[in-house]
Amino acid sequence: MNVQFLNPFLLAASEVLQKEIGAEPTRGELTLQKSALTTDDVTVLIHLVGQVYGVVMYGMPIETSLNFVSRILGQEFKEFDSLAQSGVAELGNVISGAATVKFSQAGYQSNISPPMVIIGKNVQVSTLDFPRIVVPLQTAYGDLMVHLALKEAAPGSNAAPEEFVKLAVSRA
């Protein structure tokens, strides 16, 4: 993965988290992972299509997701109900959308899919042969793990469906 695709997501995540939950994230150590991702309690998965394509996943413990949604919606959440699920999906959507705006400003056109929420630990999501850059973001309300598996389409083209980053999902 081209590391230049990392900064738009980190900047977008920092801006959105500051605005939506009122806490500035601190970035942890970057890692490169080639193995399957074993999900956190909650994982938001979003595909990118266009000149930059692939998948981004936002993983967090249930407590963090409830803290984030409580801050965003201005009411306390104790259960990860459908409204909380929608709120955390929208957080991933807003971060990814802001990142694609930053890609566009750099000359890369991309779009995002609607978010998918995976609930439950020990679900394995594999990007198969495609490595992921993993960035932990710590906030006062909990930690968010950002997983990026992105590629650049050939110059002058967008990714064809057969070029998408393929996923395999299984129970660990």
pLDDT exceeds 70 at position 168: no
Running DSSP on this structure, what letter comes out for residue 46?
E
CB proximity list for 37: less than 8 A, separation 6 or greater: 43, 57, 59, 124, 125, 126, 127, 132, 147
pLDDT exceeds 90 at position 171: no
pTM for the full model? 0.88
Q: How far apart are the first and last CA of the chain?
A: 26
User: How far is C-alpha 15 from the chain's CA centre?
Assistant: 14
d(CA 90, CA 93): 5
The pLDDT tens digits for 11-51 are 999 999 999 999 999 999 999 888 777 778 999 999 999 98
Q: How much is the pLDDT for 29? A: 94
Q: How confident is the model at residue 116 (pLDDT cuts 50, 70, 90)?
A: very high
pLDDT exceeds 80 at position 155: no
What does the pLDDT average to over 2-10? Answer: 84
Q: How confident is the model at residue 128 (pLDDT cuts 50, 70, 90)?
A: confident
Q: How many CB atoms lie within 10 A of CB 140?
A: 12
Q: Which domains are present in the chain?
A: 3-156 (3.40.1550.10)
d(CA 4, CA 75): 37
d(CA 115, CA 153): 22
